[in-house]
Amino acid sequence: MSEVRVGLVIEDDQDIRELVRVVLSQAGFDVHTASTGSAGVLSARELNPDVITLDLGLPDIDGFEVARQIRKSSDAYIIMLTARAEELDTLMGLEAGGDDYLTKPFRPRELRARVEAMMRRPRASSDTRSAPDEADPEMAHNGLSVSAGSRTAVLKGKELKLTRTEFDLLLALLETGRIVRTKADLARRLRNEPYDVGSYVSDADERAVEVHMGNLRKKLGDSIQAPRWLETVRGVGYRLAPPVQSN
Ligand code: CA
């Protein structure tokens, strides 16, 4: 069963739009393009893309707002393309719902590598009925239940709307419990690499993990001081908070 993967390129610069379109086509995507933010939001709603590349400097709506609007209806993997290497832009982009970012000018090979790493990450398996004896790895912690198979997280009877990146980070902590995961470990996890290969992780990639964790904490309604799920280990990384006695 091969489902066509859909890509959406939101970019007002024609040359860059064409470049990105070609890269995604070569990676096997059915690619659509939009040259304004509002057209991009509409296309995202209609096409339900797997991957979106989003230029931050668009003529009508800025890319941050475009990301926020897309996130209301989409769990697409959003790669922000920023014209400046300013860290603030990058972090704001991730806070607005982006998963990853690249600074222009970027190498097509780099973009393709990011997209392919993302596509190797597991997706929801709701469309494939698993055999009854094939257990869905489901985990529960302090009232939160997470199913790795269907990629859902439920708290107080409500399903949380997590991005793929947020879900993967949550799952990583649940899997290792009280063992501290460094930011570099988690960044590698997002690239779908083994933890111990020691591949290069930049400061910006570690900061990105912090931003995603901050977004996840907000969605969980978790507290920094008395966490139920995400415990920050200062200067190192994160681990799962200890279980609390329910009363
Ligand atoms: Ca632009």
Q: Evaluate whether residue 65 is within a structural domain.
A: yes
- Ligand 1 centre and the CA of 37: distance in Å? 10
Is residue 71 in a domain?
Answer: yes
Residue 90 banded pLDDT, cuts 50, 70, 90: confident
pLDDT tens-place string over residues 184-196: 999 998 888 766 6
29, containing H or E segment = strand 29-34
Structural domain of residue 188, as residue ranges? 133-240
pLDDT in tens, 140-171: 999 999 999 899 999 999 999 999 899 999 99
In this prediction, residue 244 has a pLDDT band, given cuts at 50, 70 and 90, of confident
Distance 166 CA to ligand 1 centre (A): 27
Share of residues in the chain with pLDDT > 90 (%): 62
How remote is the CA of residue 59 from the centroid of ligand 1, in Å? 7
- Give me the number of domains the chain comprises: 2
* Dist. CA 11 → ligand 1 center (Å): 6
Does 233 map to a domain? Answer: yes
Average pLDDT in the 204-209 region?
A: 90
- Which of 119, 151, 186 terminates a domain? The answer is 119
CATH number of the CATH domain containing 33: 3.40.50.2300
Task: Note whether residue 142 is domain-resident.
Answer: yes
Tell me how crowded residue 230 is: count the other CB atoms within 10 A of its CB.
Answer: 20
What CATH number is attached to the domain comprising 191?
1.10.10.10
| pLDDT (average), residues 49-59 | 94
pLDDT at residue 247 is higher than 70: no
Same domain as 114, residue 152: no
Q: How confident is the model at residue 82 (pLDDT cuts 50, 70, 90)?
A: confident
Look at residue 12 in the predicted model and tell me its pLDDT: 96
Residue 245 lies in a domain: no
Cα 193 to ligand 1 centroid, rounded to whole Å: 32
Q: Is the preceding omega at residue 105 within 30 degrees of 0, hence cis?
A: yes
User: What is the reported pLDDT for 86?
Assistant: 67
Q: Is residue 20 part of a domain?
A: yes
Instruction: Note whether 179 and 95 are same-domain residues.
Output: no
For residues 16 and 95, state if they share a domain: yes
Indicate whether 15 and 94 sit together in one domain. Answer: yes
Residues 177 and 232 in one domain: yes
User: Do residues 110 and 9 both lie within one domain?
Assistant: yes
CA of 12 to the centre of ligand 1 (A): 5
Whether 220 has a pLDDT exceeding 50, the answer reads yes
Distance from the alpha carbon of residue 86 to the mean position of ligand 1, in angstroms: 15
- 40 or 199: whose pLDDT is higher? 40
Question: Is the per-residue pLDDT at 132 higher than 60?
Answer: no
Measure Cα distances from 141 to 4, 83, 179, 230 in Å. Answer: 36, 41, 15, 11
Is residue 85 very low, low, confident or very high in pLDDT (cuts 50, 70, 90)?
low
